């Protein structure tokens, strides 16, 4: 990949993140219109996108984002109020920006298709159309160059008292002209960069009459300058004059004291000039007349009292409370936060996920090597090496855990993206729906997070479309008008559980059954439990919605959801109470690569059970326990436990041939269901590197993978979930339900 392509790839990733950040900020502003952090983050996003797009020459993107950025700049400076209408427009702008970027990336220099052009123009009009403090904005949609833009904006906001007005104070020294510095040329140049709102020319040192030296420069200028430039750019204008001129540049909306400082400097001169400056400052809104009068008065007093050290205006300001202490404190806090943020940001590194995958593969091989070494140590009884070997194994364990954690990503980000979906859909359907998110900090493997996005989206849309009823209907049934969709995630014994719950209408089992019979999925005389009826929803082609909407109702969603989740070696189930709501629960394995396993042996074959699913291991006491061999359950300390002999299961034997040797019982749990597995021998914990069995064994029941042991042999990893399902099905109806622990 060429460097340019590599740079483009980074650009794509960054803009994606920035747009997500922008959306997040905008949605936050809907709840909290005053949150300046959100406003700033939205502005920064647009600003950065504009800048980087400019680097790549994506002019269309630059032009559009510039418009949006200007609006956001006004918002963050308090010149424009942010309200729900504006947020909606801005969200659409974010979408449009994404489209523009996509277009620019895909067709490098082609012209914008008309549809995009039209959307862009439309959005810009909408941005301008909402009432704002400044009267005219650049309503045209052609790509512009910055200077022209600045001039237009400047002329538009001549009446704008709190515009981008810089105060530039130039005090040319006497030798300026002699050194080839011509004030007029600088000022002309300055004019090109922006708009000179007002200019005050002073000559406080001009001597009288024939004492004036025509080759000396006595001129001072106070200029109110309106421009888009930043301070450095303005300073650059006067770069060459630096040696011969005292330049003071005060940014717009600077603290009052800066202006007053300036006044103070000139206070020693002609009062008239000072007043003029004060007037100018009042005109641009930097100071109020009272402030100027009061401060100057004090200054005058101090001066006239002859105190050599007139109190600095700043102090006077503080005393007079012209500056606001909280503002200062706030500014300091913001600085601190900004500093911390940069520290936090600097701690993240972008890593290519292919490299991470490679690292984890190598760690896997290392684990197997370590196991082989352990075996050698045992076989040859090398006791001195044993300690070292054990130490090494522990280190390998730690590396394994850390490496796997590298790929873990919090699910919260994925959940948060649904806020937009919920907002848009509830607006479209005229329903009131709130999204509640819990467990966002739960982490799972990055690939799983990516693959779970589609199924989750479908489930959320189902909840919004089918689940939550319209407000009137809800109120009629005594529910609050606002419905809730709840996204939840948590860890459970080596699995991660993700739930999508809603407090809507729930599932109508009869309706589902009727539809299923009508579609021929089941016959009319089949007896199905409620759970089985619910599970029918996962069959393709089934939908109880009478009308299609473009969101759902076609009946092709749920089976795809189930297939996607099963492809991740997960499972999905749902539960519902009619009239109260529905909950869809997804189980996903926590790691894909290396797990803590427990090795058991039965009939000379070794198997691995995921350690997280094991509740306990007990010696099987056939003589003392109540074992029902017909119904296949055991009375374990008063608890009914279905059981399953691994040997019989894997050799397809339905009747057990009794034998005299000691057996062990391993109690495993998946979700709420427990089962006892009867094995011949227990071998203890074993770091298990999961090796996929391949497509040939895709349909295999009871085995979820394989691993390579230290001695080079292959051991099979048990699929606890399917074993439990088999055992539970098999036990007698008289045994009753398994009591949850």
Partner 1 sequence: MINLAIEGKHTDTASVAGDQFQQYLTFLVGKDNFGINILDVKEIIEINNITRIPKTPDYIRGVINLRGNVVPVIDLSARLDRQRSEITKLSCIVLVEVDVHGESQVIGALVDQVNEILDIADADILPAPDFGTDIRTDFIQAMGRVDDNFIILLAINRILSIDELSQLQRVANTQAGIAMSDDTSNFKKLDKSDEY
Q: Which DSSP state fits 206?
A: P
- Residue closer to partner 1 (CB basis): 550 or 604: 604
Shortest gap between Cβ of 702 and partner 1 (angstroms)? 7
Between β-strands 483-492 and 433-438, what pairing exists: parallel, antiparallel or unpaired? parallel
Shortest gap between Cβ of 639 and partner 1 (angstroms)? 23
Report how far residue 711's alpha carbon sits from residue 376's, in angstroms, rounded to the nearest whole number: 9
- Residue closer to partner 1 (CB basis): 164 or 719: 719
Shortest gap between Cβ of 712 and partner 1 (angstroms)? 6
Shortest gap between Cβ of 95 and partner 1 (angstroms)? 34
- Residue closer to partner 1 (CB basis): 260 or 723: 723
- Residue closer to partner 1 (CB basis): 346 or 630: 630
263: left (phi over 0), alpha (psi -120 to 50) or beta: alpha
Report how far residue 7's alpha carbon sits from residue 152's, in angstroms, rounded to the nearest whole number: 34
Q: How far is CA 223 from the centre of its chain?
A: 45
Residues that bind partner 1 (CB under 8 A): 365, 368, 527, 605, 630, 649-652, 654-655, 691-703, 706, 708, 712-716, 722, 725-726, 729-730, 733
Cβ within 8 Å of residue 238, ≥6 positions away: 170, 186, 245, 247
Report how far residue 29's alpha carbon sits from residue 47's, in angstroms, rounded to the nearest whole number: 18
Report how far residue 261's alpha carbon sits from residue 204's, in angstroms, rounded to the nearest whole number: 18
Report how far residue 643's alpha carbon sits from residue 640's, in angstroms, rounded to the nearest whole number: 10
CB atoms within 10 A of CB 547: 5
Exposed, middle or buried: residue 483 (CB in 10 Å: 0-12, 13-18, 19+)?
buried
- Looking at the DSSP bridge assignments, the partners of residue 445 are 408
- Residue closer to partner 1 (CB basis): 308 or 696: 696
Q: How far is CA 564 from the centre of its chain?
A: 23
Shortest gap between Cβ of 706 and partner 1 (angstroms)? 5
- Looking at the DSSP bridge assignments, the partners of residue 674 are 669
Shortest gap between Cβ of 441 and partner 1 (angstroms)? 35
- Residue closer to partner 1 (CB basis): 547 or 699: 699
Is there a contact between 279 and 200 (Cβ–Cβ < 8 Å)? no
Shortest gap between Cβ of 707 and partner 1 (angstroms)? 8
Report how far residue 358's alpha carbon sits from residue 354's, in angstroms, rounded to the nearest whole number: 6
- Residue closer to partner 1 (CB basis): 109 or 699: 699
Shortest gap between Cβ of 701 and partner 1 (angstroms)? 6
- Residue closer to partner 1 (CB basis): 306 or 694: 694
Shortest gap between Cβ of 563 and partner 1 (angstroms)? 15
Q: Residue 457 corresponds to which tokens in the numbers above?
A: 């989206």
Q: Residue 569 corresponds to which tokens in the numbers above?
A: 């070696």
Convert 275-302 to b/e letters by CB count within 10 Å (16 or more is b): eebbebbbebebbeeebbebbbebbeeb
- Residue closer to partner 1 (CB basis): 368 or 489: 368
- Residue closer to partner 1 (CB basis): 2 or 713: 713
Q: Count Cα neighbours of 237 within 13 Å in the Cβ-side half-sphere.
A: 25
Shortest gap between Cβ of 500 and partner 1 (angstroms)? 25
- Residue closer to partner 1 (CB basis): 148 or 692: 692
Report how far residue 564's alpha carbon sits from residue 89's, in angstroms, rounded to the nearest whole number: 35
Exposed, middle or buried: residue 95 (CB in 10 Å: 0-12, 13-18, 19+)?
middle
Cβ within 8 Å of residue 185, ≥6 positions away: none
Shortest gap between Cβ of 539 and partner 1 (angstroms)? 9
């Amino acid at each position: 990949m060429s460097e340019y392509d590599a740079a483009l790839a980074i650009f794509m990733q960054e803009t994606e993140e920035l747009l997500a950040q922008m959306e997040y900020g905008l949605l936050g502003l809907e709840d909290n219109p005053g949150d300046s952090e959100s406003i700033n983050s939205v502005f920064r996003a647009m600003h950065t996108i504009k800048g980087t797009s400019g680097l790549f020459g994506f002019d269309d993107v630059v032009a559009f984002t510039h418009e949006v950025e200007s609006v956001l700049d006004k918002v963050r400076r308090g010149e424009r109020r942010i309200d729900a209408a504006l947020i909606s427009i801005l969200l659409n702008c974010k979408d449009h920006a994404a489209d523009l970027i996509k277009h620019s990336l895909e067709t490098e220099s082609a012209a914008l298709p008309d549809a995009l052009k039209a959307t862009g123009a439309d959005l810009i009009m909408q941005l301008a159309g909402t009432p704002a403090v400044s009267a005219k904005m650049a309503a045209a949609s052609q790509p512009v160059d910055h200077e022209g833009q600045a001039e237009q904006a400047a002329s538009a906001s001549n009446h704008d008292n709190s515009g981008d007005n810089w105060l530039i104070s130039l005090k040319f020294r006497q030798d300026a002209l002699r050194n080839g510095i011509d004030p007029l040329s600088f000022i002309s140049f300055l004019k090109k960069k922006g708009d000179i709102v007002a200019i005050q020319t002073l000559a406080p040192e001009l001597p009288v009459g024939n004492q004036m030296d025509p080759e000396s420069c006595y001129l001072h200028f106070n200029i109110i300058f309106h421009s888009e430039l930043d301070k450095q750019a303005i300073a650059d204008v006067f770069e060459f004059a630096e040696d011969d001129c005292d330049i003071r540049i005060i940014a717009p909306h600077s603290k009052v004291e800066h202006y007053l400082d300036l006044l103070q400097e000139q206070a020693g001169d002609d009062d008239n000039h000072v007043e003029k400056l004060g007037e100018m400052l009042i005109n641009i809104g930097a100071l109020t007349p009272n402030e100027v009068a009061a401060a100057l008065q004090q200054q005058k007093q101090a001066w006239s009292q002859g105190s050599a050290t007139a109190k600095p205006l700043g102090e006077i300001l503080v005393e007079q409370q012209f500056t606001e202490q909280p503002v200062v404190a706030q500014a300091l806090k913001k600085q601190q936060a900004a500093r911390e943020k940069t520290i936090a940001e600097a701690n993240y590194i972008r890593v290519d996920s292919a490299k991470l995958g490679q690292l984890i593969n190598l760690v896997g091989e290392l684990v197997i090597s370590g196991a082989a070494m352990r075996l050698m140590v045992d076989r040859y009884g090398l006791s001195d090496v044993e300690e070292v070997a054990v130490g090494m194994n522990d280190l390998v364990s730690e590396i394994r855990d850390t490496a796997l954690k590298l790929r873990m990503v919090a699910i919260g980000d994925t959940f948060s993206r649904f806020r937009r979906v919920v907002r848009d859909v509830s607006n479209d359907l005229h329903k009131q729906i709130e999204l509640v998110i819990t467990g966002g900090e739960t982490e799972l493997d990055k690939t799983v997070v990516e693959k779970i996005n589609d199924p989750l989206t479908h489930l959320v849309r189902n909840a919004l479309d089918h689940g939550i009823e319209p407000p009137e209907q809800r109120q009629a049934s005594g529910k609050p008008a606002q419905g809730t969709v709840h996204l939840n995630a948590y860890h459970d014994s080596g699995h991660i559980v993700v739930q999508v719950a809603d407090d809507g209408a729930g599932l109508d089992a009869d309706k589902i059954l009727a539809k299923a019979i009508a579609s021929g999925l089941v016959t009319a005389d089949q007896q199905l439990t409620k759970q089985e009826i619910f599970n029918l929803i996962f069959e393709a082609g089934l939908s109880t919605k009478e009308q299609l909407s473009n969101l759902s109702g076609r009946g092709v969603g749920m089976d795809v959801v189930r297939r996607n989740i099963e492809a991740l070696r997960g499972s999905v189930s749902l539960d519902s109470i009619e009239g109260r709501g529905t909950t869809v629960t997804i189980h996903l394995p926590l790691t894909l690569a290396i797990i803590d396993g427990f090795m058991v042996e039965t009939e000379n074959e070794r198997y691995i059970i995921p350690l997280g699913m094991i509740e306990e291991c007990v010696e099987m006491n056939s003589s003392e326990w109540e074992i029902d061999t017909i119904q296949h359950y055991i009375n374990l300390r008063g608890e009914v436990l279905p059981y399953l002999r691994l040997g019989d299961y894997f050799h397809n034997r339905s009747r057990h041939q009794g034998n005299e040797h000691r057996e062990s019982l391993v109690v495993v749990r998946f979700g709420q269901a427990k089962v006892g597995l009867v094995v011949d021998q227990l071998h203890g914990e074993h770091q298990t590197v999961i090796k996929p069995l391949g497509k040939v064994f895709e349909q295999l029941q009871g085995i979820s993978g394989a691993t390579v042991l230290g001695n080079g042999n292959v051991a099979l990893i048990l699929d606890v979930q399917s074993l439990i399902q088999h055992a539970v099905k098999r036990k007698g109806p008289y045994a009753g339900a398994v009591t949850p622990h």
